A and B are shown apart, each in its own frame.
Chain A
């Protein structure tokens, strides 16, 4: 295989009034791993989508092996030997592994046969790249790490010479991430060009040859990985030297239990028991699909309980068959607030009043609602600060702040926050994190479902780990290491089967 050289020359892309990519140039070479770093919204995903033909550039052009090419659709990019593995996988959950591969295979035969009759070339390919997986398994039932391997197998099946991976380690345990780094190195050794989109410097250290950093749509720095110190990369990414992270608030011993969970079963969640004390931050970690989102949903009222009980300051909060009602003392910040906590086409004022909606006067006065909305909007710096604006038009960070502003209105004694900083930029992340730390310092019980282990370990007092719907570990966050937590997350401490289905 001849090593490919992909050149992106001065690419520009605007979405309405937002400049996503501005005059970005980048060279991607075969046999080399390029780590493309940047904050959320820096334009790195958009740049790679341009390279993959998913969006068309407003200006600039792409060259492959010194020949100018034009991609109208991903199909053209695929034909030119470019493959992309998305963060939201492009596997179709309801189809089998074999069907997903056949879908992507240009040489798939007209007749695909009945299940299990014709192993053929597809299954040989699969057995080589993802050993041990059943080609007939429903893709949606497989663990995330396995699905990612299938995704890579799919890209290679289409004879890609350049493989782009979009935030591949965000969803993996430390052990799975290690395996991925090894796979990426092996690809580069075989002559493939690999682009690793990431915001973790750990990925750079583990497998990159070269680093490119984007900020605000531009490529702001480029260097061999060996020459780029972490602090320099972060400075490129953020534009300023990184501020030291806030310390976790000291916690008095023997504070009372505020949030208490007993025998909770809800969907995939099985028999969870947990106490969160006043002033304590308890982090919940787990590989995605281990039931932590379901647990957060059960606690915040989005999912009915099958069994068990949840109390807040001794008062019953959730129980099977009990309809969810807003409780001022509980701040519920669910995952994906755009879908779970916001009425997107209603105004900020209405969204801030949702917890009090049922007790509004019979005749609604919008002016009064808008007046009440000004203080929380100002307190949490929601932008733009227009109470009449539909909430759905806010950016992710401001939407998150809007939900937090609403939930903190009643001076809560407990917070349940599920991935509260997901998708936020550095500044917004710090704001949200500081709000949580302040709440804990003031005696609030905080239950924090997070994705970034380092972050959780740095700020929580205790860390509990979920696997397969259960709490499998309860560790002191001051002494626990990421490796230790990772072992619990992967379930290896219980069942040594990496292909275990996430049911």
Chain B
């Protein structure tokens, strides 16, 4: 009974905390994919965001500046993806992986200077909510309403559905694709910074450990809908919170094994979503992506 209490007390907040970095990335990648690009480079963008955010927070003492620096770093790296896939039309999968590799390298290189630095981060408000969590939660309706109920959002979606038709309607597709990639860069950088500045409050090489790529899969689970990004991120957060608590509770299962739980849970819901999408062709996938995913 006591063990169960230890497992469940404060679980909602822990879930939310674990979900927050992922929620940023998920929203960003959702907007990127809605404009018709899959960016696997979010992993690298998160890493540079985490490194920049941690470094600036340590130097300035301001977590807010840290988050801003993370967002800027993520956006900067995403311009590489934008140039590769828009200006020269390179393969999006390979471009994403190259950006990931570059981001990993840059963050590892810059990160050597961060080892040993300490940061304080934000004091949580009542109930364990930090400004980072509040910002992530606030972005859900911003993205949801913005994408689904505004003129800009409509054009954004139209470009993702069909650049040719959007062009025929008087929209310039590449503006929106680049915007989609850059917004994805800002939000993945924010997500990385949220991870290092607010969640773990440490810096370690490769610390995002695949969260960006999990987000790419969870976008599909969320059916490319910003509103559904919240439950998808919470699912990952819950799996992570449970795995941490099971470790703390001296579970018979090794901590290293428990670490795989969030990934397996994400893969599970991803597979289930794909199976369900099969019965509804397209299933809400931006059509320009559908062609890419169905090949």
Q: A residues engaging B (CB < 8 A)?
A: 54, 73-75, 78, 84, 86, 90-95, 99, 102-104, 106, 108-114, 158
Contact = CB atoms under 8 A, between A and B. Distances in A.
A91 B168 CA distance: 10
Interface of B: 149-152, 154-155, 157-158, 161-162, 164-172, 282, 284, 287
B214 to A, nearest CB: 26
Contact of B165 (A54, A90, A113, A114): A90
Most buried by A among B154, B161, B166: B154
A86 B168 contact: yes
B293 to A, nearest CB: 15
Given A94-B287, A112-B151, A113-B149, A78 B170 contact: yes
A103 B166 contact: yes
B170 A112 contact: no
Contacts of A91: 165
B167 A111 contact: no
A202 B165 CA distance: 30
Given A92-B158, A94-B282, A103-B155, A111 B150 contact: yes
Given A108-B151, A112-B149, A112-B151, A103 B169 contact: yes
Contacts of B282: 94
Given A111-B150, A112-B151, A113-B149, A95 B158 contact: yes
Contacts of B154: 95, 99, 102-103, 108, 112
A74 to B, nearest CB: 6
A103 B171 contact: yes
Most buried by A among B149, B169, B287: B169
Contact of A111 (B149, B155, B165, B169): B149
B167 to A, nearest CB: 7
A75 B170 contact: yes
A331 to B, nearest CB: 28
Contact of B170 (A86, A93, A104, A110): A104
Contacts of A75: 170, 172
Contacts of B168: 54, 74, 84, 86, 90
Contacts of A92: 158, 161-162, 165-166, 287
Nearest to A98: B154
B170 A109 contact: no
A104 B171 CA distance: 9
A106 B287 CA distance: 24
11 contacts: A84-B168, A86-B168, A90-B169, A94-B284, A95-B157, A99-B154, A103-B155, A103-B169, A110-B150, A111-B150, A112-B149
